[in-house]
Amino acid sequence: MSIPYRFKVVFLSFLAVFICYIDRVNISVAIIPMQQQFGWSESQVGIILGSFYFGYMISMTIGGYLADKYGGKKVLGIGLLIWSFFTVITPIFAYSGLWYLILIRILMGLGEGITFPSWHAIYARWIPFKERTRAIAFTNSGISVGTVFGYLASAIIIAQYSWEWVFYSFGALGIFWYFFWNKNVTSFPEDNKFLPSDELAIIKSEAPSNSTAPSIPLIKLTKNLPFIAIAVATFCNNWALYTFLSYLPKFVNSPISVGGLGIELESNMFIYLILIPSFFSIFSLLLGGYLADRFIKNGYEVIHVRKTVNSIGFFGAAILLYLISLQDSLISVLILLCLINFCSGIGAGGFGVNHADLGPKYTGSLVGISGSFGMIAAIFSPMVAGYLLEITNSWSVIFYICSVILLFGGLFYLKFASASQQFE
């Protein structure tokens, strides 16, 4: 029995997310020797880490519109080539000065911002509804796989060579990926010459969106509480997510006296603290997607499934983040990091897949607009964390803030989310 062709589309989209995240988080490790070499303050480090998301926020909405209007294949392919090029030349800009590095990070963000709206738009045309949550969960697991690979490979490359080679090697991967993407993927399944006719019939009968979207109803969006619930959940999730993406290596490396773990970059323990929690995230993403699809297939209401798994992700992570600030044992912190990642992975079947429920034809635009709002958190959370580290010299307050924001996001989504179609 042959593997369905749409699985190849999903796998290549997974690789795009993987490359997106290795190029995004490599600087979170490289920033440690870069800060020592260039003498940057914690506030300056926060600006460097947060500046990427300014560009990301701008292009996310535009990318969603373009993907819905013209198809996600070209939009994602061109975007990935752009950010891969800027990754390769990052060291040149770093040596040119702080503000040049900030500029290249903004430009990288402009390239990466189209990623999620583009593949969501492709899935709205390619993936049957009953497979949707699993396909999205698998693709989103590229976040965890890319993050852990980016952290570990960066640490190894820095130890063996230098921080510059992190950017050279990672950027080259995206250019290699593009050739496979351009050859095998189309924005619409009916345009793909490799797709068997029987599989095309299945896709067209079950996929919720087989056509190009009309203009997005922007005024209606601003008044629609179910969509606002997704946007708020995205913002709150991103605050915690991008604080950790940006600062987890520094937290692991920081001295115990300031609430860090005091683990050297070259040590095996640094690898374990990054690697083990990420395995929990990957496993729970796949498990959460499978269970959500299974419950829906067995007749449970879609909105009840969305709210249940979302609550596990938000409320579970909020409680565990608070508990991390109280620990002084390395093993306890490791266990809590694993549980946080497990809860967050299960929660991926909530707000993160809710866009196609509200407006299948507008999936890319809905992901782009809510994601752009969420990027406000991604911009400011690293800056706030850097500022707080500079004035308090402590990690605890950072965990408290993330915990409270997650609680608010979980409650707002629980109150106002819907799985009923809102936009025709």
Q: Determine the pLDDT at residue 157.
A: 93
Label residue 241 by pLDDT band (50, 70, 90): confident
Q: Determine the pLDDT at residue 329.
A: 74
Integer angstrom CA distances of residue 378 from 207, 242, 368, 383, 385: 32, 6, 14, 9, 11
Kindly tell me the burial class for residue 387, based on how many C-beta atoms sit within 10 Å of its own C-beta (0-12, 13-18, 19 or more).
Answer: middle
CB 370 within 8 A of CB 227: yes
* Residue 318 predicted with pLDDT over 80: yes
User: pLDDT digits over 280-291, tens only?
Assistant: 887 887 788 788
Label residue 54 by pLDDT band (50, 70, 90): confident
CB 24 within 8 A of CB 52: yes
- For the chain, the average pLDDT equals 85
* Residue 206 predicted with pLDDT over 80: no
CB 352 within 8 A of CB 314: no
Average pLDDT over residues 315-344: 86
* Residue 354 predicted with pLDDT over 70: yes
Q: Domain 5-416: which topology?
A: Growth Hormone; Chain: A; (1.20.1250)
Q: Determine the pLDDT at residue 314.
A: 94
Three-state SS at 65 = helix
Residue type, 338: C
CB 68 within 8 A of CB 361: yes
Q: Which residues, including other chains, have CB under 8 Å from residue 268's CB and lie 6 or more apart?
A: none
Q: Treating both helix axes as pointing N-terminal to C-terminal, what angle do 5-38 and 42-70 enclose, rounded to 10 degrees?
A: 160
Q: Is the dihedral of CA 200, 202, 207, 210 positive or negative?
A: positive
User: pLDDT digits over 82-124, tens only?
Assistant: 999 999 999 999 999 999 999 999 999 998 988 888 888 888 8
C-alpha 348, offset from chain centre: 11
